[in-house]
């Protein structure tokens, strides 16, 4: 019984170590900005400075928080995702899209957020996101 327990413990330790190595290796590939908290509050004017994939993610955030209606956002979301490859078929993901989906912008290497804004101010930013998304199609 003791031999089985030791083997199971050794196997579990090996698997956990291998998984943590793989995760830290993947994290090392990401630019430093992805590991930082947002440093500023974004404004509607900032929307012009973000990548198309970040716009796609922001549109997703705006639809999910009801700042943009599903009627206005869903078909546009599908079109911009297809055009920018914001949600790739291989499921590797796109960090700009993921950051945008959490209500954050990447501007000049810094992260900004709209999540701390009151609903009317978020609505203003989301209106700018909707307009920018339409211009990218």
107-116 per-position pLDDT tens digit: 777 788 899 8
pLDDT band per the 50, 70, 90 thresholds, residue 127: very high
Angstrom distance (rounded) from CA 105 to CA 41? 9
Give which of 31, 43, 38 is closest to 111, Cα–Cα: 38
Angstrom distance (rounded) from CA 53 to CA 96? 6
What is residue 36's predicted lDDT score, i.e. its pLDDT? Answer: 54
What is residue 75's predicted lDDT score, i.e. its pLDDT? Answer: 93
Tell whether the torsion through CA atoms of 53, 30, 113 and 43 is positive or negative.
negative
What is residue 64's predicted lDDT score, i.e. its pLDDT? Answer: 96
Angstrom distance (rounded) from CA 36 to CA 73? 29
Angstrom distance (rounded) from CA 59 to CA 47? 11
3-46 per-position pLDDT tens digit: 545 555 454 444 544 444 444 444 445 455 555 555 556 777 88
Q: What is the mean pLDDT of the chain?
A: 77
pLDDT band per the 50, 70, 90 thresholds, residue 87: confident
Helices in the chain by DSSP H: which ranges?
Answer: 2-28, 52-64, 70-84, 95-101, 119-136
CA atoms within a 13 Å half-sphere pointing along the CA-CB vector of 22? 6
Task: Label the pairing between strands 110-113 and 104-107.
Answer: antiparallel
| pTM, 2 dp | 0.70
């Amino acid at each position: 019984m003791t031999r089985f327990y030791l083997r199971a413990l050794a196997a579990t330790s090996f698997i956990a170590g291998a998984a943590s190595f793989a995760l830290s290796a993947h994290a090392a590939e990401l630019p430093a900005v992805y590991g930082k908290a947002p440093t500023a509050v974004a404004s509607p004017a900032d929307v012009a400075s973000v990548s198309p994939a970040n716009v796609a993610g922001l549109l997703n955030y705006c639809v999910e928080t009801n700042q943009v209606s599903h009627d206005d956002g869903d078909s546009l979301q599908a079109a911009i995702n297809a055009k920018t490859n914001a949600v790739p078929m291989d499921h590797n993901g796109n960090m700009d899209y993921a950051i945008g989906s959490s209500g954050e912008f990447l501007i000049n290497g810094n992260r900004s957020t709209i999540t701390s804004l009151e609903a009317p101010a978020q609505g203003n930013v989301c209106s700018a996101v909707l307009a920018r998304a339409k211009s990218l199609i």
